[in-house]
Amino acid sequence: MRSIGLDIGSKTVGIALTDEAHIAAHPHSVLARAGISDDVSAILTLVAKHSVTAVVVGIPFELSGRVGHRARRVLQLAHAVKARLPEGVSYHEQDERFTTAEAERALIASDVSRGKRKDVIDQHAAALILRAWLEKANRAQ
């Protein structure tokens, strides 16, 4: 049983996965955006490959908590993914305000070079989204 976290941007989608015990979230990869249909297919391939039972999408709400332009763009892909999820795979949305900035700070603190940060920041942001969701889910139990 694993969950996948998605940090959907205009050019890339950061991917993170939990371990099988659902204890921790780990950066996995970055998917270059290729259009909604291709993006959904690539995400569903990962869902099947890793036996994912929950998909968690980071939604970039505005500071006020409202759904703004960026969130609406993210929700287009998120809802396309949700519509094609296999039976038994749940869909969740997680507030992702400031996750990219938090990931950037963590990578800088780890002395990751600027060039390398650009390549991995989205998957680290996805891991932060997934961790926040895991913590919320564990508190609810």
Query: Alpha helix locations (H) across the chain?
Result: 36-49, 69-84, 99-109, 114-140
Higher-pLDDT residue of 41 and 140 is 41
**Residue 113 clears pLDDT 70, i.e. is over it:** no
**Residue 77 clears pLDDT 70, i.e. is over it:** yes
**Residue 140 clears pLDDT 90, i.e. is over it:** no
Dig out the tokens for 16 from the structure: 């993170």
The residues facing 58 across adjacent strands are 94
Higher-pLDDT residue of 121 and 13 is 13
**Residue 1 clears pLDDT 60, i.e. is over it:** yes
Q: State how far the Cα of 97 lies from the Cα of 59, in Å rounded to an integer.
A: 8
Taking the whole predicted model, whether its pTM rises above 0.85 is answered as: yes
pLDDT class for 35, splitting at 50, 70, 90?
very high
Please state, rounded to an integer, the average pLDDT across all residues of the chain: 88
**Residue 66 clears pLDDT 60, i.e. is over it:** yes
With beta carbons less than 8 A apart as the criterion, state whether 59 and 69 touch.
no
Residue (of 24, 38, 31, 26) closest to 8 by Cα position = 31
Q: Which domain holds residue 132?
A: 2-140
Q: Match 């700070």 to its residue by tokens.
A: 105
CATH code of the domain covering residue 119: 3.30.420.140
CA angle (38 as vertex; 35, 40 as ends), nearest 5 = 100
Number of domains in the chain: 1
Dig out the tokens for 56 from the structure: 């968690």
